[in-house]
Structure 1
Amino acid sequence: MHLLSRFAGILCLMACLASCSGNKSTETTQQATTSRSDTANAEKSASTILFFGNSLTAGYGVEPSEAFPALIQDKLDSLGLNYKVVNAGVSGETTSGGNSRIDWVLRQPLDIFVLELGGNDGLRGIPLTETRQNLQAITDKVKAKYPDAKIVLAGMQIPPNMGKTYANEFRDLYKELAEENDVTLIPFLLEGVGGIRELNQSDGIHPTPEGHRIVANNVWDVLANEL
């Protein structure tokens, strides 16, 4: 009997240890699952900033990580801000082309919409009435789809190749559109970069990596107030 009693005690102790081990394993699994769930929830809740533009936004001639939208993402990450940047830039895009593809782009939910278009219109001498109408149409579509989204309009300027009057009116239409639509304006996207040879590629139009860093600062100075 004494031997049987000792054997029963050993079995009881083994069962207890197995139970404790099982509880610990379950607890660890639950913690890991919770951690993954928290990470997934954080990713889902990230606000989206969508940059809609031409080759300047797309980062023509530089690495994707060197284009100003990517630099904005780096800035957001460094500050621990839960935002995701989407680069919807297409090289060569005009306001007409942008207006044609905006409906497709707006399938992507967004919280802040940065509109950077018009430069190619100006370089081609497209009538300002057409550029204005297209920018207005894009703005209207964004507001209709996401009425709570904030809109930032990137102002642009062009050399007086098409005449001083055209260049001045082109510059002014961005300010006018921003005021008429009550949206935020970046006065001149390429401030401190446009026309400076060492900050632009050989075409004299597209910024170098250093130029993009300055452009990113121009954007951030305005964008930071919208977060």
Structure 2
Amino acid sequence: MAKERLDSDMHAVLTASDVRKTFPAASQGGEVEILHSVSVSVRAGEMVSIVGPSGSGKSTLLYCLAGLERPSSGLVTIDGVDIGALSPRRLAVLRRRRVGFIFQSYNLIPSLTAAQNVALPARLAGRHPARQEITAALRSVELEALADSRPGSMSGGQQQRVAIARTLLVKPAIVFADEPTGALDAASGRRVLDLLRSVSDAGSAVLMVTHDLESAARSDRGIVLRDGTVHQELAEPTPEQLLDAVAAAA
């Protein structure tokens, strides 16, 4: 899986330094800290997975890095921009233009066709993609024939591929994926991972949270969380190495 383009001179699309996140603890009074001084980076063209035991803070970290949650403290930059310094409106603009999201629940609009779902983020960002751009995005995930179909008529794997096509149309600097294969059968999951791999091969950074260690092993690097801290980082990890690291973090 080694890729020559992931040299040290490749720029970091995402950087996070000393990120902490606390939430109110109603039953105890005061607050509980979920993330403790987490620092990570992801380079252009790199695919990175975040794994760890349940409750280790994986999704919380992803949401803080993606600007969907505000860290309690620390610095997060996307494409060189300090997202903590942005107003909600400017942060939303950055996410629309430079960030892609892929979730377990697909987040497609049921009343829109596949083509309309693919075009929606670009339209929200003020761009009006040509029909051939939308068709090309759907063709890249082998769903051109379903351009006029609605999500309710598609399988879970097809819906997730529409979500990936939607991301491809935006051409983001980074894609955040939260359990993208969690609701899929094994064959559909492998197809989605192949597509995510192709996204990073095309130059975007990909950061994925997953509990599936086989999926995580498709990444260039695995970050193992333990109780809200980075427990270990593994380059080109195998499923066995990830299993040992997660077991040690439990």
The TM-score range, normalised by the shorter chain, is: 0.3 to 0.5
Which of the pair is proportionally richer in strand?
Answer: 2
Which of the pair is proportionally richer in helix?
Answer: 1
| Higher relative contact order (Cα pairs below 8 Å, separated by 6+ residues) | 2
TM-score (norm. length: structure 1)? 0.35
Which entry has the higher C-alpha Rg, 1 or 2?
1
